[in-house]
Amino acid sequence: MHLRFCAIYGVLSLSACGPTKSMPEVNEPVAEAKEVPLEPSPSTPPPEPTTEAVAPAPPAKEPSAEPVLKYTGAFAAPESVLYDAGNDRYLVSNVNGSPVANDDNGYILALSPDGAVTNPKLIAGGVNKVKLDAPKGMAIVGKELWVADIVLVRKFDLKTNEYKGDIKLPGATFANDIVALDDRVFVSDSGVTMTSAGFQPTGSDQVFVIDKAGKVKPLARGKDLGGPNGLAIGTGNMLLTNTFTKDEVYGIRDSGDRDVVTKLPGDQLDGLVFVDDTLIVSSWKTETIYRGKLGGTFTPMITKVRGAADMGFDSKRKRLLVPRFLDDTVEVYDLK
């Protein structure tokens, strides 16, 4: 029996979950369209931010309690969803096994916004000279798709899916999310590894910056980063990140210093999306997706959402795209 990591950010441990999955057969995705008011969640006293908080903004509109679309049947530990605006499609990275295994069986598939799996093997490890182990965060950089994969970034032609090479991340142990800004790309290293005792910290917590020439250097490094996980670009092009091993979201200045460190009601944070001046953050610990502003109060937005990993945003339709890592599904919520 193989050991499969069942709650990558939820319990920080290994459990025996059956054999590692092979590429799943594609079933017809389930599409649901309901307009049900969001059920209220128990109120949680807002935590005190670690820096002076700004006045909270008026709450954004509630998404429906149920997803407007739910894709199933094509996933194996879906970790990240990226909206490819140029091709009007959703790209989903699938770990398909251990998140730190060099097993060359990770893959990326394509979904259409109307509910169909359009290509279940868009990019697959071991196919067409592609090397892909445990793909996580993704970003579109020019005409390429860049993918965080354990200790490096893999590059693919966005049109042909051709493998275009790797960028090594010196000292990384768990490359997690990736985001592009102008002529720079940022990659988070959550600073963990897997041992016989489960996930353990390595102390490599850092955020890399890659320039247009492909040169890599740490922008910020240290245990105070709290296992940086999700990345986003906020107001004034400030880099934002949340924490895997803490309950914080904060900005990172060009100097590498943290800025406006803000507490959330839950920890083991993963997905991070910045929409209309509002941050949307998922917590594996509380199985909740929160919303709020840096320096302000975060409140529950969607509850009872298990294993919500690296979320995406469909800017054309104003949709939140949520990969459910533990349930092998992708859900779509309306933010209009």
How would DSSP label each residue in 275-325?
A: ETTEEEEEETTTTEEEEE-TTS--EEEEES-TTB-B-EEETTTTEEEEEET
DSSP-assigned beta bridge partners for residue 232: 240
Q: In the predicted model, is pLDDT for residue 53 greater than 50?
A: no
Domain carrying residue 138: 69-334
Q: What type of residue is 82?
A: L
Q: How many angstroms separate the CA atoms of 151 and 96, rounded? A: 17
Note whether residue 264 is domain-resident: yes
Residue 47 predicted with pLDDT over 50: no
Report the distance separating Cα 195 and Cα 99, nearest Å.
12
Q: Does residue 275 surpass a pLDDT of 70?
A: yes
Q: How far apart are CA 230 and CA 222, in angstroms?
A: 17
Answer yes or no: is 51 within a domain: no
Residue with tokens 């670690």: 50
Confidence label for 195 from pLDDT (cuts 50, 70 and 90): confident
Which CATH number do you get for residue 200? 2.120.10.30
Cα dihedral across residues 141, 114, 288, 191: positive or negative: negative
Note whether residue 31 is domain-resident: no
Give the strands of the sheet with 258-263, arranged side by side.
228-233, 239-243, 248-252, 258-263
pLDDT bucket at 277, cuts 50 / 70 / 90: very high
d(CA 244, CA 239): 17
Q: How many structural domains does the chain have?
A: 1
> What was the pLDDT predicted at 135?
98
Instruction: Tell me: pLDDT of 52 over 70.
Output: no
Flag whether pLDDT at 57 surpasses 50: no
| 184-193 residue pLDDT tens | 999 999 998 8
d(CA 267, CA 287): 10
- The pLDDT value given to residue 16: 37
For residue 116, how far is the Cα from the chain centroid?
22
Whether residue 182 lies inside any domain: the answer is yes
Residue 220 has pLDDT above 90, yes or no: yes
Neighbouring residues of 36: CB distance < 8 A, sequence distance ≥ 6: 64, 65, 66
Q: What percent of the chain has pLDDT over 90?
A: 77
The pLDDT tens digits for 105-141 are: 999 999 999 999 999 999 999 999 999 999 999 999 9
pLDDT for the residue numbered 193: 85
Mean pLDDT of 273-285: 97
Q: Which two tokens stand for residue 174?
A: 């768990």
**Confidence grade of residue 45 (pLDDT, cut at 50, 70, 90):** very low
Q: How far is CA 108 from the centre of its chain?
A: 14
Is position 95 within any domain? yes
Q: pTM, whole model, 2 decimals?
A: 0.83
Q: Is residue 108 part of a domain?
A: yes
* Radius of gyration, CA atoms only, the chain: 18
44 falls within a domain: no
**pLDDT score, position 28:** 44
Residue 78 domain flag: yes
**What is the chain's length?**
336
Picking from 58-62, 149-153, 250-254, 276-280, which range would have the lowest pLDDT averaged per residue? 58-62
Q: 28-37, 85-94, 287-296: lowest mean pLDDT where? A: 28-37
Model pLDDT, residue 197: 78
Rounded mean pLDDT of 241-270?
96
Comparison of pLDDT for 18 and 183, the residue scoring more = 183
Confidence of residue 255 (pLDDT cuts 50, 70, 90): very high
